[in-house]
A and B are shown apart, each in its own frame.
Chain A
Amino acid sequence: MIKIEVRLFATFRNGRGKKVFVEMDQPTVEDVLQSINITNEEVAILLVNGQDGHFDQVLIEGDYLSIFPPVGGG
């Protein structure tokens, strides 16, 4: 089992808070998101350790996710 930090932003915080920790065995990004009831389709920006990530990416100890719904520009 590894512990993955998920940083949540914008409307993903509703009902979940700013950050959650998920403990799973060899999870992919998709597995982690499913466990907190977020579908791939809802995610517009997906970062693993601050770099562009993929839903089928297998995570390792120490990885963290940052996820955003469709948001904006400036």
Chain B
Amino acid sequence: MYGYHGKILRINLKTQEVKVETLDLDTAKKFIGGRGLGTKFMMDEVDPKVDALSPENKLMVVTGPLTGTATPTGGRYMVVTKSPLTGTIASSNSGGFWGAELKFCGYDMIILEDKSEEPIYLNIVDDKIEFKSAKHLWGKLVGEVTDELQEAHGAKARVMTIGPAGENLSLLAAIMNEKDRAAGRSGVGAVMGSKNLKAIVVKGSNKVGIHDPEALKAVFKDSLKKIRENGVTGEGLPTYGTAVLVNIINENGAYPVNNFQESYDPEADKISGESMKEDYLVRKNPCYRCPIACGRWVEVDGKQMAGPEYETLWAFGSDCGIRDLKEVLLANDWCNELGLDTISAGTTLAAAMELRELDLVKAEEIEGQPLEFGNVNAIVEWTKKMAYREGFGDKLAEGSYRLCDMYGRPDLSMSVKKQELPAYDPRGIQGQGLQYATSNRGGCHVRGYLISPEILGLPEKIDKNALDGKAFWAKAFQDLTASIDSAGLCLFTSFALGADDYAALINAVCGTDHTGDTIFAAGERIWNIEKMFNLESGVAPSEDKLPRRLLEDAIPDGPSKGQVHQLDKLLPEYYELRGWTKGGIPTDERLAELGLK
């Protein structure tokens, strides 16, 4: 057995019945693993119309065939479930070390069913599965839970857990591992919380079988060379982390400020990657077998903590009108401790600030720090209240779409399919906007990172304002990303590696005969099955849209002044390239070609 162990761990949380099932390898290879395989199981086993927070929803924790192998960045896992935030398929990816350790336990995936009557955690050591009471852990922060569980089960045990946000069913709750790595988006932490499952501890001793170790050595060496020689993966990300994007995106005039009311911040440098390196950086904070090491480790007032990503710096920073780097670092740390998605948490605060600015939210509703753009004292306080659903925090915990809808202005939620948009204003980057609108998990940048060609010039520079070719690029990036996510590798490898490289890595590990073309084809299959799940769950094709502001209100100032997003000109070509109907529905013919009918 190569790449896959061929074993699924099925756990019923209510009856505490445990089954080890055989993974059908043909199915596994068709969907690669991770995101693809998890979605296939969701389609087969869960009614897409299910209430995401009901016991009938399932939580799939899925590794890829390269997870736990000697491939660069091969340590990632996916949480696949139905999202309580978007109603779409959720597949949230995390790095760190937990995914590889799960694979070492001898399983390709865990399927968690039903709901425990009491708070529990799982302790998995190879074929020993223990159900343990988590009453003493319920309510505790992520760091404390991780420390306690490592004390109980050994320092080498790896801990995945939810924080108070997940327990309180915040739709913005993440699942955390190694304290600061997150399966962050789409509210997957709330699904875990709804099952009364606080944590999963893993410690394993099973190696992953490699089909051709000599070939893997050669492919690994080649990939590593490409990663090290690439300016982004070899120098930019290791030196500054993703935070270096603050200035890049701002200088391009596509850096949203005050809930996307503006798109250029003259003071952005105060919260940039350069400033973080200068004033707070202690060291890098790498994931399993990662030669890039973009993770940051910072020190604030004598306390060391994980540093924020670009998205977080922006969400709690300029999008909330804040340029105080220290407060943003603290807000990031609180999100890790509480188990919150930093993008959605920060941008939901920004939406609340605009509602307050318009006096739709009244001052008397806000007990505590005023929720006003630029109030540095507001972000940490309201992040905590959001996680605990305290006072107005109860409304914030529902995410920006539901919050703005409560006040009659859902258009003020900068979201797609109810998931908050990340840190790129698509009015200044047209392809990224098409990608946002069509993303199968709602507002997201990593379903197809068109920033790479449109801004960074990788693999080649294309005009950020042009419309020609953008539908092609969006589809290609979406399909390739689906395969990378499913293989168990980090998306950042794609700055240096191409589809042929991924084919070579997967073939050396699994003994498959992938080519670059079949990697794209597998990704397209995964994209289409995700779309089918969404359609069956009731997310209509008309949800492939952007917030009104981005389509109608021109950017008021900065390098992209005067621009709007031109989605109506891009969407028809995109649907045509996908082989879907003009209304955005996959045709039976296309699904048959992809082996989905």
Determine the chain B residues whose CB is within 8 A of the CB of A49 once the complex forms: 559
Residue of A nearest to B249 (CB): A74
Identify A72's interface contact among B240, B251, B423, B464, CB under 8 A. B240
Q: Which residues 242-256 in B have Cβ within 8 Å of A in the complex? A: 242-245, 247-248, 251-253
In the complex, what residues of A have CB within 8 A of residue B297's CB? none
Contact of A45 among B248, B449, B465 (CB under 8 A): B248
Residues A73 and B461 in contact in the complex (CB < 8 Å), given A44-B456, A50-B560, A66-B251: no
Which one of A10, A11, A70 lies within 8 Å of B230 (CB-CB)?
A70
Q: Do B242 and A44 touch (CB < 8 A)?
A: no
Q: Are A18 and B269 in contact (CB under 8 A)?
A: yes
A52 is an interface residue with CB less than 8 A from chain B: yes
Q: Is the CB of B242 within 8 A of A73?
A: yes
In contact, B463 and A72 (Cβ under 8 angstroms): no
Most chain A CB within a 10 A radius of its CB, from B230, B236, B245, B252 = B236
Which chain A residues in 8-42 approach chain B with CB under 8 Å? 9-11, 13, 18
Known contacts A51-B559, A52-B463; is-contact A72 B244 (Cβ 8 Å): yes
Binary per-residue interface labels of chain B (438-452) against chain A in the complex, 1 for a CB within 8 Å, 0 otherwise: 000000010001011
Please tell me if the beta carbons of A72 and B241 are within 8 angstroms of each other in the complex.
yes
Q: How far is the CA of A7 from the CA of B311 in the complex (A)?
A: 22
How many interface residues does chain A have, given as a range? 20 to 34
- Determine whether B300 belongs to the interface, using a CB cutoff of 8 Å to chain A: no
Asked if B239 is at the interface (CB within 8 A of a chain A CB), the reply is yes
- Interface assignment of B235: CB less than 8 Å from any CB of chain A: yes
Report the separation of the CA atoms of residues A44 and B231 in the bound assembly, to the nearest whole angstrom: 8
Is there an interface contact between B311 and A9, defined as CB atoms closer than 8 Å?
A: no
Whether A10 and B274, one on each chain, are in contact in the complex, defined by CB atoms closer than 8 angstroms, is yes
Distance (Å) between the CB of A27 and the closest chain B CB?
Answer: 20
B247 touches A73 (CB 8 A): no
Q: Which residues of B contact A71 (CB under 8 A)?
A: 231-232, 236-237, 240, 244-245, 248, 456
Let me know if B251 and A47 touch, CB within 8 A.
yes
Least CB distance from B557 to A in Å reads 11
Q: Which of A39-71 contact B (CB under 8 A)?
A: 44-45, 47, 49-52, 66, 68-71
CA gap between A71 and B246 in the complex, in Å: 11
Q: A74 contacts B309, CB within 8 Å?
A: yes
Task: State the Cβ distance, A12 to closest chain B Cβ, in Å.
Answer: 10
Q: Is the CB of B495 closer than 8 A to any CB of chain A?
A: yes
Contact between chains at B457 and A45 (CB < 8 Å): yes
Query: Which of B245, B252, B465 has a CB less than 8 Å from the CB of A74?
Result: B245
CB distance from A60 to the nearest CB of B (A): 16
Which residues in A have their C-beta under 8 angstroms from that of B445? 74
**Is the beta-carbon distance between B274 and A73 smaller than 8 angstroms?**
no
CB distance from B87 to the nearest CB of A (A): 26
B240–A50 touching, CB < 8 Å: no
Task: Tell me the minimal C-beta distance from A25 to chain B in angstroms.
Answer: 26
B244 touches A10 (CB 8 A): yes
Number of A-B contacts (CB under 8 A): 90
Q: How many Å lie between the Cα of A46 and that of B277 in the bound state?
A: 23
Residue of A nearest to B464 (CB): A52
Whether a CB of chain A sits under 8 angstroms from the CB of B388 is no
**A29 → chain B closest CB, angstroms:** 15
- B558:A50 contact, CB within 8 angstroms: yes
Q: Which residue of A lies closest to B269 (CB)?
A: A18
**In-complex Cβ contact of A50 among B230, B235, B236, B253 (8 A):** B253
A51 to B451, CA, bound (A): 14
Q: Is the CB of B274 within 8 A of A69?
A: no
What B residues does A66 contact at CB under 8 A? 247, 251
Task: Identify the closest chain B residue to A68 (Cβ).
Answer: B248
Q: How far does the alpha carbon of A51 sit from the alpha carbon of B559 in the complex, in Å?
A: 7
Indicate whether B310 reaches chain A with its CB closer than 8 angstroms.
Answer: yes
Q: Please tell me if B349 contacts chain A, counting CB pairs below 8 Å.
A: no
Partner of A73, one of B232, B251, B253, B264: B232
A47 contact set on B, CB distance < 8 A: 251-252, 559
Query: Which residues in window 203-256 of B have CB below 8 A to A?
Result: 230-232, 235-237, 239-245, 247-248, 251-253
Q: Could you tell me if B245 and A73 are in contact, using CB atoms closer than 8 angstroms?
A: yes
**B423 adjacent to A11 (CB under 8 Å):** no
What residues of chain B lie closer than 8 Å to A69, measured between beta carbons? Answer: 231, 235-236
A-B contact pairs, 18 of them (CB 8 A): A9-B274, A10-B244, A10-B247, A13-B274, A44-B231, A45-B248, A45-B457, A47-B251, A51-B559, A70-B232, A72-B232, A72-B237, A72-B240, A72-B241, A72-B245, A73-B232, A73-B456, A74-B243
B: residues with CB less than 8 A from A are 230-232, 235-237, 239-245, 247-248, 251-253, 264, 269, 273-274, 294, 309-311, 423, 445, 449, 451-452, 455-457, 461, 463-465, 492, 495, 558-560
Given A10-B239, A74-B245, output 19 extra A-B contacts at Cβ < 8 Å.
A7-B251, A9-B247, A10-B273, A11-B239, A13-B274, A44-B231, A45-B456, A45-B457, A47-B559, A50-B560, A52-B461, A52-B464, A66-B247, A69-B235, A70-B230, A71-B236, A72-B244, A73-B232, A74-B309
The 10 closest A-B pairs by CB, nearest first: A70-B231, A50-B559, A74-B242, A71-B236, A74-B310, A66-B251, A72-B237, A72-B236, A71-B244, A50-B253
